[in-house]
Amino acid sequence: MANHQDETRAAYDGVVELYASLFADRLETQPFSRSMIGTFAELVRATGNSRAADVGCGPGHLTAMLTEMGLDAHGFDLSPGMIDHARRAHPSLRFQEARMESLPVEDGALGGVLSHYSMIHTPPEDLPTLLAEQVRVLTPGGLLLVSFFGTEEPEPIRFDHKVAPAYSWPPDRLAALLTDAGLTPFARLLHDPASERGFLDAHLIARRA
């Protein structure tokens, strides 16, 4: 796992300012993603535990959105360049460099985890380890929202993402991995792509038992 993460970290460190400028609108042009994040935040608030992690937070725009939606959000990213940008852009919020499979969060501490297209660079054989870590930090009844590129093919597809190699997933396959990790998927949204890649944009919400 370390090799591909080192490559991904270096790739994102090299595009910090460009990446941040592309996502400065904070999903204003992506109503489906915005709707799912809003639903996620509402459900997390309803658990009574508003602590949430934005894993793979990048420049911090979604950490700020979650905060505005009433969550006590903390951003994590493996790219020190992204974390530095997030801290400068949102000085009142908390950001920390961390790997997704080893979060500096105590067991069962969080009401929610947002993984917004942040697991896409993980090879399929390594994804269960990342999901197990999301489950570890969630309180019973806590929620995970994972957004990813979806495919109607039966197996995950590796493709050349503009920053680093990535994978699209059959939604049913990813939902099964969530179940195997100890989560109960209960909501999904699939819609036509907003880019030229041709993959579906996919979102799954799951609850820890």
- Please report, for the domain that includes residue 67, its CATH number: 3.40.50.150
Fill in the amino acid letter for 99: R
What tens digit of pLDDT does each residue of 128-183 get? 999 999 999 999 999 999 999 999 899 999 998 877 789 999 999 999 999 999 99
Domain membership of residue 140 as a residue range: 2-21+31-208
Which residues, listed in sequence order, are joined to residue 73 by a DSSP beta bridge? 52
What tens digit of pLDDT does each residue of 86-120 get? 999 999 999 999 999 999 999 999 999 999 999 99
Answer yes or no: pTM beyond 0.85: yes
86 lies in a domain? Answer: yes
26 lies in a domain? Answer: no
117 lies in a domain? Answer: yes
Q: What is the pLDDT of residue 27?
A: 81
Distance CA 84, CA 56 (A): 13
Q: How many CA atoms lie within 13 A of 127 on its CB side?
A: 24
Please say whether the beta carbons of 112 and 13 come within 8 A: no
167 lies in a domain? Answer: yes
Residue whose C-alpha is closest to residue 58's, from 72, 77, 71, 74: 77
- Quote the number of domains for the chain: 1
